[in-house]
Structure 1
Amino acid sequence: MSEPITVWLTPPGPNPWKVIVILEELGIPYVIESFRFEDVKKPPFININPNGRVPAIVDPNTNLTLWESGAIIQYLEEVYDKGKKLTYDSISEKHLLNQWLHFQMSGQGPYYGQCGWFKVLHPEKLPSAIERYTNEVHRVLGVLNTALEGKTWLVGDKCTFADLAFLPWNARLDSVLLTPPGEDPLAPYPNVQAWTQRMLSRESWKRAMEIRAQLMDQQGLTWNGMPKGINNMKEYEEYMEKQGQEKKSEA
């Protein structure tokens, strides 16, 4: 029996949940080291990942510490997915899976993240930045919608790690684009919408989101990462300004 892999994460962001859903799918034992986002640049985590970004893993079975979610996923597949549940053996399919994983890492993740930053979190509203990254989100969705035409999964005839890597960001697209309540931001992309729904219904994802909800609650955070009692962006900006002033006064 393998010893549990330790996963270091801050619960609000999407990237750690790419790794957790893969661990759940493959039935790999793991434990979570959950900590606050404001501590990503501090010890002990900075000693695990000098880049100060989550997730990172420590695998006692191979004595390996690894960061970058895409690299972690590829590692888990190579070392632990002996039954090829989420991957394939053939050279063409293996490289197509890596192609989509790279697209998720270089396309979806950064563009969604920048869109969320400038549209939601950045204190100064910059219309040119908001427009650029909103357009890039829709471009990525268009690529996926085209690729999924007439298909159930990105590669082959089963759900793979490449599909699941896209799920955490697409699952929170409404908060990235600030979609009005009751509207589905994936509705203009029916192939992506159906694909995402197929993955949302998987037990691995449901378990991952139950864990996330528990960890968020422990940190006093709501589902979207805002502290409990904060109801909108104006209140959140005032809260962050107050926190900044308190830190200055402490210094």
Structure 2
Amino acid sequence: MTQNKDLKPITLYSHAAGPNPWKVAMILAELNVPYKPEFLNFQDLKKEPYETICINGRVPAIQDPNTDVTLWESGAIVEYLIETYDKEGKLTYDTVPERFQVKQWLFFQATGQGPYFGQAIWFGKYHHEKLPSAQQRYMDQVLRVYDVLNRALEGKEYLVGDKCTYADISFIAWDHRIQVVFKDDFGIEELEKKYPNYARWHKVVAARKAVKEVLEDNDRAVAANQN
């Protein structure tokens, strides 16, 4: 995808498997904003020099040499990129209520999808002891999020209005990761049976050229990190 040659690349601090940096990468790619990923290991996040960039010790964070802005928290970064680089409104609206409805769905993704999907993956695959009650709680929350999206998309192609916005795209990285980790339970074929509106929407958004290329980069990074 052709990038804006007038811009200096934004540094995106990332991790191969963590979905939130890839959410930001999708927005950068959609807006043709050049960026360079800096992949960090989890053990390097909560110490210097990275803590000077992100005091919370999490990814993503960005450093934008075009504006001298350093920023962390994926939702804040997405809003910054939209306000700074989407002057034509490719991924948003300037009308009311649509402009605020897009923000609404971004906040739901950041507070309702990401944390629950992350905990489902953690307790399902990585926690040092098996805790069935925790596993069930977070799996139930994953299904609740799918149900919310499925109902919201009834009779609609996208979450807000008649075009794909940053809200739609923001869900895809976590959707993709949980489908990879729990492919037998949350593979797209299984989800089509119970959540057809969601499954159709996911396929459409994930097939966008920029999104698809970032997902492919994500899969390659995960594979390389495992070798």
- TM-score by structure 1 length? 0.83
Among candidates 51, 54, 75, match of residue 49 of structure 1: 54
Q: Give 1:74's aligned residue.
A: 79
Whether 1:87 and 2:85 are equivalent positions in the alignment is no
Which one-letter code corresponds to 2:46 in the other structure?
A: K
Whether 1:107 and 2:112 are equivalent positions in the alignment is yes
Deviations 1:188-225 (A, max 9, x none): 111110000001211112221333344345xx42xxxx
Q: Give 2:39's aligned residue.
A: 34
Among candidates 9, 18, 24, match of residue 13 of structure 1: 18
Whether 1:131 and 2:136 are equivalent positions in the alignment is yes
Q: Give 1:120's aligned residue.
A: 125
The percentage of counterpart residues that share the same residue type is 50
Separation (CA, whole Å) in 2 of partners of 1:101 and 1:208: 19
Deviation at 1:9, TM superposition (A): 0.6
Separation (CA, whole Å) in 1 of partners of 2:129 and 2:95: 49
Deviation at 1:180, TM superposition (A): 5.6
Deviation at 1:177, TM superposition (A): 3.9
Whether 1:196 and 2:202 are equivalent positions in the alignment is yes
Separation (CA, whole Å) in 2 of partners of 1:215 and 1:137: 25
Are the counterparts in 1 of residues 30 and 210 from structure 2 also a CA contact under 8 Å? yes
Q: Give 2:151's aligned residue.
A: 146
Which one-letter code corresponds to 1:20 in the other structure?
A: A
Deviation at 1:182, TM superposition (A): 7.1
Separation (CA, whole Å) in 1 of partners of 2:222 and 2:183: 21
Separation (CA, whole Å) in 2 of partners of 1:15 and 1:95: 22
Are the counterparts in 1 of residues 150 and 197 from structure 2 also a CA contact under 8 Å? yes
Q: Give 1:241's aligned residue.
A: none
Are the counterparts in 2 of residues 56 and 65 from structure 1 also a CA contact under 8 Å? yes
Secondary structure at 1:184 match in 2 = helix
Structure 2 gap ranges (5+): 1-5
Which shifted more, 143-152 or 35-44? Answer: 35-44
Root-mean-square deviation (CA, aligned residues, Å) is 1.7
- CA spacing shift, 1:182–1:23, aligned 2, 3 Å: closer
Alignment of 1:193-232 (within 5 A): 193-217=199-223, 220-221=224-225, 227-228=226-227
- CA spacing shift, 1:5–1:62, aligned 2, 3 Å: same
- CA spacing shift, 1:61–1:181, aligned 2, 3 Å: closer
- CA spacing shift, 1:172–1:186, aligned 2, 3 Å: farther
Deviation at 1:179, TM superposition (A): 2.1
Separation (CA, whole Å) in 2 of partners of 1:182 and 1:213: 16
- TM-score by structure 2 length? 0.91
Q: Give 2:166's aligned residue.
A: 161
Who wins on radius of gyration, i.e. which is larger? 1
Separation (CA, whole Å) in 2 of partners of 1:76 and 1:129: 36
Which one-letter code corresponds to 2:164 in the other structure?
A: C
Separation (CA, whole Å) in 2 of partners of 1:163 and 1:103: 11
- CA spacing shift, 1:45–1:141, aligned 2, 3 Å: same
Among candidates 65, 68, 85, match of residue 70 of structure 2: 65
Deviation at 1:24, TM superposition (A): 0.5
Residues paired across the two proteins, number: 221
Separation (CA, whole Å) in 2 of partners of 1:108 and 1:81: 25
